[in-house]
């Protein structure tokens, strides 16, 4: 189990590696063996939190990236909305963006590039990471507990995670489209 937890930590630290899949799989596995999911959850939170801080620092050091990305109208519009929302509610956008595929990495990079206060970023990152890891590990653990066959439990848990992630993305796209129709 120690090597599996180390692997989970490394996967969580490296941006764009499939943390969701690894976390669902580990949680389903511990459910099958009647072990506690808390070590899996804690390692995932720690790895994701370290990853967010490293990506934030990379964004803070590479401000030219944001300038280049702003040339794209959709990116410029998104950055404008994100900056505007963060002025009103500094932590909420960073917590919420984690639920979109790749959102944690993008949010951390943009927050660093826009020089958001590190303290606000860290708190939002910690809240978002904790909620996201709780959600994903719960899906894996419940799936692993309900289904006796480990491979099927893992697949069922992954299917639920993908379906919910897709639903969240579709709702977000729909809401963005509606805002565009309303001139917001």
Please, which residues have CB within 8 angstroms of residue 78's CB and are 6 or more apart in sequence? Answer: none
Residue 97 phi/psi, 5-degree rounding, is: -65, -25
Write out pLDDT tens, residues 152-176. 666 666 677 677 667 766 776 776 6
Q: Please state the rounded mean pLDDT for residues 39-55.
A: 96
pLDDT at 178: 61
Task: Mean pLDDT check: name the lowest of 33-47, 74-88, 134-148.
Answer: 74-88
List the one residue out of 96, 105, 76, 99 whose CA is nearest residue 168.
99
| 42 has pLDDT over 90 | yes
Q: Please state the rounded mean pLDDT for residues 81-88.
A: 67
pTM of the predicted structure, to 2 decimals:
0.73
List the one residue out of 97, 163, 106 whose CA is nearest residue 132.
97
């Amino acid at each position: 189990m120690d090597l599996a937890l180390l692997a989970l930590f490394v996967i969580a630290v490296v941006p764009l590696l499939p943390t969701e899949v690894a976390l669902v799989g580990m949680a389903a596995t511990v459910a099958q063996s009647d072990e506690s999911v808390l070590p899996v959850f804690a390692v995932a939170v720690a790895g994701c939190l370290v990853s967010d801080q490293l990506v934030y620092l990379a964004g803070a050091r590479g401000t030219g990236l944001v300038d280049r990305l702003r040339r794209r109208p959709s990116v410029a519009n998104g950055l404008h909305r994100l900056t505007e929302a963060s002025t009103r509610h500094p932590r909420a956008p960073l917590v919420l963006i984690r639920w979109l595929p790749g959102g944690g990495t993008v949010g951390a990079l943009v927050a660093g590039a826009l020089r958001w206060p590190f303290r606000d970023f860290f708190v939002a990152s910690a809240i978002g990471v904790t909620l996201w890891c709780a959600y994903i590990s719960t899906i894996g653990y419940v799936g692993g507990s309900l289904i006796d066959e480990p491979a099927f439990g893992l697949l069922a848990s992954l299917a639920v995670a993908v379906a919910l992630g897709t639903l969240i993305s579709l709702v977000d796209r729909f809401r963005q489209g509606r805002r565009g129709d309303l001139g917001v």
